[in-house]
Chain A
Amino acid sequence: EAGVTQFPSHSVIEKGQTVTLRCDPISGHDNLYWYRRVMGKEIKFLLHFVKESKQDESGMPNNRFLAERTGGTYSTLKVQPAELEDSGVYFCASSQWARRGPGANVLTFGAGSRLTVL
């Protein structure tokens, strides 16, 4: 079974430019999550898709970030225009279930996309 794949693994852009990150979840996983880790900080939630619908986007920092999941398969996260504070590692994770309670939300992570904004 293929895992969660992310592309690119590393992107270096200048402030003001646009970057699009892609995540392919595990096949059959309806739930897709985006997280971000800024150096020295904890991994923070950005948003959660259930199939193609945004279930929770409360973690999106501002309107420069746009996430899509057309057709409920892969997802993209676009940052436009990028700022210096957007630098970090963006992780995608997927899970088959998203219910609360024991056993819920066992996430499988991708390797992350490291974004460096200069």
Chain B
Amino acid sequence: QKEVEQNSGPLSVPEGAIASLNCTYSDRGSQSFFWYRQYSGKSPELIMSIYSNGDKEDGRFTAQLNKASQYVSLLIRDSQPSDSATYLCAVTGNQFYFGTGTSLTVIP
């Protein structure tokens, strides 16, 4: 079983819609959860971090964490074409574990 699971996509949404990205993890002891965005050929960049159950909002981004279900998600409101990228879920246990990433395309 992988430490972190994500649907690889591709996920396509029209411009202005809400994009929903999901991630599950296996280590119940995980304490820190991150979403990174990676444009093609570029480095992953941190866009959201969340550490406690519930929602955390930052601009158009909302991260949701449910430790009981071992589930973390990222919502992108009012999606823009510039949001088209691969989104990586990362979880820290003994190490920093990544999912395979979900490819998002926002269609103008």
Contact = CB atoms under 8 A, between A and B. Distances in A.
Interface string B31-53: 11010100001111110010110
Given A56-B95, A100-B92, A101-B32, A106 B49 contact: yes
B87 interface: no
A102 B32 contact: yes
Contacts of B97: 42, 45
Contacts of A104: 31-32, 92
Interface residues of B, number: 24
Contacts, number: 58
A61 interface: no
A88 interface: no
Interface of B: 2, 4, 31-32, 34, 36, 41-46, 49, 51-52, 88, 92, 95-101
